[in-house]
Amino acid sequence: MSIYKEILDGLDEKGALHFTLIDPDDIGYENAAKFSAESERAGTDAILIGGTVGVQGELLDETVKMIKESVSIPVILFPGDISGISPFADAILYLSLLNSRNPYYISGVQALSAPIILRWKLEAIPTAYLITEPGGETAAGWVGDARPLPVRKPSITYAYALSAVTIGYKFVYLEAGSGAAYPVDDRLVMAAQKAIQHRIPLIVGGGIRTPQTAVQKVRAGADIIVTGTVLENSEDVFSSVSAFASAIHGAGKERR
């Protein structure tokens, strides 16, 4: 079964999912496997590996292998650039930053990485990646040269999300940026879901620091919530992931 199908089945079953983002740069690659295992035990639905990748090449491969050995949930690459890929993951979010000013992040990096992804037989999940306000001030927005989607004009987010479904992307990912001062605004989540109409999953992440905020985003229309920074900063990864996962699954159940 493909990882994408596994995620769709998970959504059918639970209504909403929680993904744990691991940046091996931030938590130390030697801690990544333990962090992932704790997260799985606490109920998270998948591990995303990404970040601004100081960890790449052999070190990234070893990190991914260690994570794979310690969990049975999907391990999915969420690369910041071409260097963030490894043959040992289950799948890769094949990101196109549609609202970038730089074509490299829309289609260039995809072209450069396509041959190796094919050679590795890595499952690539085409993902429309959209950076919203306040993402311009985060690494993803700055590096990706994004024109962040404005909160005051949800119709622009609506149009981008609609184009993503029309083109045939398999995920829409609304991103405020890792460590953002505040998360994606509910109005933008609603606008995106209004366009998507549950035809593909809507991922929302960046700046989500409490389970209550995660629930709010699910109620606004998010299918999958990604948290990274708040878990990295937590003293007790298990309790923290557990609070997010159960709140998100609870909110998912409400709307099934």
Q: How far is the CB of 84 from ligand 1GP (least distance, A)?
A: 12
Separation of alpha carbons 123 and 89, rounded Å: 9
Q: How far is the CB of 1 from ligand 1GP (least distance, A)?
A: 26
Q: In this complex, which beta carbon is closest to ligand 1GP, that of residue 24 or of residue 179?
A: 179
- 3 state SS of 116: helix
* DSSP for 161-200, written as a single string: HHHHHHHT-SEEEEE--TT-SS---HHHHHHHHHHHTTSS
Binding site residues, ligand 1GP, CB under 6 A: 21, 140, 175, 178-180, 205-208, 226-230
Q: How far is the CB of 115 from ligand 1GP (least distance, A)?
A: 26
Q: Which residue has the tokens 């001062």?
A: 181
- 3 state SS of 156: helix
Q: In this complex, which beta carbon is closest to ligand 1GP, that of residue 208 or of residue 241?
A: 208
Q: In this complex, which beta carbon is closest to ligand 1GP, that of residue 210 or of residue 246?
A: 210
Q: How far is the CB of 169 from ligand 1GP (least distance, A)?
A: 17
Q: In this complex, which beta carbon is closest to ligand 1GP, that of residue 58 or of residue 235?
A: 235
CB 153, CB 185: distance < 8 Å: no
Is the omega angle on the peptide bond into residue 79 within 30 degrees of 0, that is, cis?
no
Residue nearest to ligand 1GP (CB): 205
